[in-house]
């Protein structure tokens, strides 16, 4: 492959025709020659690899299929980072896609800048309802390079993987994800201390498919991957503890909010499981955080769910669990 401005790591496992939707969106752009698409086939047992190979044969300078033994989403991203040659790097899940028109504009802009992180917009699409939701933007000023350490993170809207492109060099030096689920959280967290220059483009790039059975965000997968979720949370907490004294205030707060977001996700998992140990498990989670990471706990207390749970001395966990489970029925 010739020199590329952007490497895109596409995680692919038993996607069938959805992998073609993904790859077609890149090929429909006018900048296919400026990007490399690394389809990391995670041991698919259907025709995902064969479908992807059709595109690799048609665009041999831009699309490459890399097959590995089934190892999980994190391993696909690690493999993508390892093989990336572009100046910038991003993840795109194989069941998602990009907006070709704005993707073309983005790639042309990437060729004119030199930053560590690039943010753009994304739009959720509900598969079952066949409906687009409003585009998720950021609160940043578009088209202006800024110091990431000056950015005041307000968590509304939260920055997600779907917004974000990193300098590949940073990913290769500092990022190796857990092999399991929750790659998004690690992807957004571990490069952060090494970011200097940033920019935001008001372009709708990532098209995020939601409302599918079996997604990592579905209640069933959340329950199944509870242990892995806690492993990732503890890994992030340990990393933060090692570096928090070296961080600029805004970056420190950004990482703390990323961690508290994951803690709230873990609270949701425990509330959705709704077993006989639920209340005690939640109490243990919060008391452990308060004891071992008091600064994180201070940020955590600002969250409304945390105030309800801890503020009621954990007496409201079961009503909150009922509310959450009813809400998930309609997602």
100-110 vs 18-27: helix crossing angle, rounded to 10: 50
pLDDT under 50 in the chain at which residues? 1
Tokens of 219: 């209640």
For the chain, what is the radius of gyration of the CA atoms? 20
192 phi/psi in degrees, rounded to 5: -55, -45
Q: What is the pLDDT of residues 101-129, one digit of tens each?
A: 999 999 999 999 999 999 999 999 999 99
**Ranges of each domain in the chain:** 6-210, 219-328
Using one digit for the tens of pLDDT, what is the confidence trace for 255-277? 999 999 999 999 999 998 888 89
Helix 317-328 with 249-273: angle, nearest 10 deg:
90
Stated pTM of the model: 0.93
Per-residue confidence (pLDDT) for residue 1, from 0 to 100:
44
The CA angle 125-126-129, to the nearest 5 degrees, is: 135
Looking at residue 248, its pLDDT comes to: 96
Task: Look up the CATH number of domain 6-210.
Answer: 3.90.550.10
How high is the pLDDT of residue 215? 55
User: How far, in Å, CA of 206 to CA of 161, rounded?
Assistant: 10
Q: What is the pLDDT of residue 222?
A: 66
Residue with tokens 């498990």: 281
Nearest Cα neighbor of 19 from 43, 42, 39 is 39
pLDDT given for residue 224 in this prediction: 73
Q: In this predicted structure, what is the pLDDT of residue 226? A: 84
Note the pLDDT of residue 83. 98
């Amino acid at each position: 492959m010739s020199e590329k401005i952007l490497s895109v790591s596409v995680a692919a496992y038993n996607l069938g025709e959805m992998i073609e939707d993904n790859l077609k969106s890149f090929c429909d752009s006018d900048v296919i020659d400026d990007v490399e698409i690394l389809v990391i086939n995670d041991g698919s047992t259907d025709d995902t690899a064969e479908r992807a190979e059709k595109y690799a044969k048609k665009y041999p300078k831009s699309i490459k299929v890399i097959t590995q033994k089934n190892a999980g989403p994190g391993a696909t991203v690690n493999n993508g980072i390892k093989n990336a040659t572009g100046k910038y790097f991003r993840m795109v899940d194989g069941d998602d896609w990009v907006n070709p028109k704005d993707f073309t504009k983005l790639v042309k802009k990437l060729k004119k800048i030199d930053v560590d992180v690039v943010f753009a917009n994304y739009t959720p699409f509900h598969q079952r309802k066949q409906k687009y939701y409003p585009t998720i933007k950021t609160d940043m000023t578009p088209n202006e390079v800024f110091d990431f350490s000056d950015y005041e993170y307000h968590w509304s809207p939260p920055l997600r993987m779907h917004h974000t492109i990193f300098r590949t060099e940073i990913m290769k030096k500092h990022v190796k994800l857990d092999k399991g689920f929750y790659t998004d959280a690690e992807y957004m967290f571990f490069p952060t201390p090494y970011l200097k220059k940033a920019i935001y483009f008001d372009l709708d790039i990532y098209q995020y498919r939601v409302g599918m059975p079996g997604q990592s965000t579905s209640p069933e997968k959340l329950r199944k991957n509870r242990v892995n979720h806690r492993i990732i949370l503890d890994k992030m907490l340990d990393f933060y503890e090692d570096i928090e004294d070296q961080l600029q205030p805004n970056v420190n707060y950004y990482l703390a909010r990323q961690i508290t977001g994951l803690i709230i996700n873990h609270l949701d998992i425990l509330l959705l499981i709704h077993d006989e140990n639920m209340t005690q498990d939640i109490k243990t989670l919060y008391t452990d955080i308060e004891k071992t990471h008091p600064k994180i706990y201070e940020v955590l207390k600002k969250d409304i769910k945390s105030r309800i749970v801890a503020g009621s001395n954990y007496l409201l966990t079961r009503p909150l669990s009922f509310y959450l489970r009813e809400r998930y029925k309609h997602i």
